[in-house]
Amino acid sequence: MIRYRTAAVGNHQIFYREAGDPNQTSLLLLHGFPSSSHMFRNLIPLLADRFHLVAPDLPSFGFSQSPPRAQFAYTFDNLAKVIESFTEVIGLTY
């Protein structure tokens, strides 16, 4: 079963899909551009019996919300920092 959640990460509300047992090995599924975690909708059920899966929508993609461009530089470095903080906020271990 896929669970749909959001996490507050600084000024971002990050939407993510989660499935599987958190005691199993975690896999962080990151989508490309332009896309969203929706791209993993068929893969997640296939792996959920063996892994803990977390598929976030990057800031301003899919259902994730972020500040306007005037307040946040949408660079790969900043996106990576948000996702790193996201993993800490939700307690994802690797």
Name beta bridge partners: 16: 5, 56
Least confident range from 2-6, 42-46, 68-72: namely 68-72
Q: What is the pLDDT of residue 13?
A: 96
User: Which single residue is written with the structure tokens 């790193």?
Assistant: 84
pLDDT digits (tens, 9 = 90+) for 42-61: 999 999 999 999 999 999 89
What domain count does the chain have?
Answer: 1
Which residue range is the domain that position 74 belongs to? 3-89
- 38 falls within a domain: yes
Average pLDDT over residues 15-32: 96
pLDDT exceeds cutoff 90 at 34: no
- 33 falls within a domain: yes
% of the chain with per-residue pLDDT over 90: 82
CATH of the domain at 26: 3.40.50.1820
